[in-house]
Each structure stands twice: as C-alpha cells, then as structure tokens.
Amino acid sequence: MSHEITLEQAAERAHQIEIIARMIEQHPHRMDWSEVEAVAALIGELSGSVVIWLGGEMAQRAAK
C-alpha cells in the first residue's frame, strides 16, 4: 500500500501540531475567533494526513 506522505512528513506534521497546541495552551486569550478557526482548520489538515499515514502503516503491519 502506498502512503500519501512519508514517515518524515508525518513526524514533521505531528511536531507542528504539538507546537501549535503549546502556543494555544500558553496564550489562550490572545486569539480572536477568526484566528481560532484558522488554527483549528490547520490542525485538522495537519492531523488528518498523519492519521491517514498511521492507518496505512497499521494496515501494512497487520498484513505481514
């Protein structure tokens, strides 16, 4: 099964999600609703590709 992204890309996107989450945690009241919506969309996009990659990897390992 071919993956949409590489292991390195999945790791980088997971790291980006972690950084975004830490920024929100440290400064929760510095964002207005439009910024929160934009960040939520970014987190969804980044995490979605990681979830797809992990699902493909799990399926590959289960098939072995």
Do 19 and 46 contact (CB within 8 A), yes or no? no
pTM (2 d.p.): 0.79
Give me the residue spans of the domains in the chain. Answer: 7-63
Q: For the segment 32-64, what is each residue's pLDDT rounded down to a tens digit?
A: 999 999 999 999 999 999 999 999 999 999 998
Listed in sequence order, the residues at least 6 apart from 1 whose beta carbon sits closer than 8 Å to its beta carbon are 56, 59, 60
| pLDDT exceeds 90 at position 28 | no
Per residue in 1-25, pLDDT tens? 456 899 999 999 999 999 999 999 9
